[in-house]
């Protein structure tokens, strides 16, 4: 089975377009700022150039560095969740799971006589359906009993 990775970030196509636009803005604004800097007194175009440089650097950083981590990584060995709003960071190996309960927007996993309740309200409806079907596939392939809650 392929890994299921749910990540709510910008698509690579939009990321590429934003990088092109921000690099163009950086070059144009930087050129304007340098040309105005060479003059003996500053005019409005110098400040416009500086503001353009700041905006382009902020756009480059927001498109590259500050993209969120994947929310869900699901494969045959582990089930990893990273929900920043809930401060939920869970990495569960399937070998420890003894029972699974599937609710409308949550999952309950029983591991070594310990019950873990995972709230999945963060996910979109389509992603939630795909995740539940993959969880059922894994439960059936690993002989983990499951039921609807």
Distance CA 29, CA 36 (A): 11
Quickly count: other Cβ atoms within 10 Å of residue 112's Cβ: 7
Q: Which CATH architecture has domain 72-148?
A: Roll (2.30)
pTM of structure:
0.69
Give the tens place of pLDDT for each residue, 8-61: 888 889 999 999 999 999 999 999 999 888 887 888 989 999 999 999 999 999
Closest CA to 76 of 22, 8, 11, 140: 140
Instruction: Please give the pLDDT value at position 1.
Output: 62
């Amino acid at each position: 089975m392929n890994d299921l990775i749910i990540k709510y970030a910008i698509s690579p196509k939009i990321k590429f377009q934003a990088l092109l636009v921000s690099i163009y803005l950086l070059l144009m604004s930087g050129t304007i700022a340098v040309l105005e800097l060479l003059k003996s007194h500053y005019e409005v175009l110098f400040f416009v150039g500086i503001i353009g440089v700041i905006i382009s650097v902020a756009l480059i950083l927001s498109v590259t560095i500050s993209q969120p981590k994947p929310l869900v990584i699901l494969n045959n060995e582990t089930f990893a969740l990273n929900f920043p709003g809930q401060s939920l960071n869970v990495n569960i190996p399937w070998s420890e799971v003894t029972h699974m309960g599937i609710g409308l927007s949550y999952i309950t996993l029983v591991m070594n006589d310990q019950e873990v309740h995972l709230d999945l309200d963060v996910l979109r409806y389509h992603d939630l359906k795909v995740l539940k079907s993959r969880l059922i596939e894994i439960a059936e392939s690993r002989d983990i009993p499951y039921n609807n809650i």
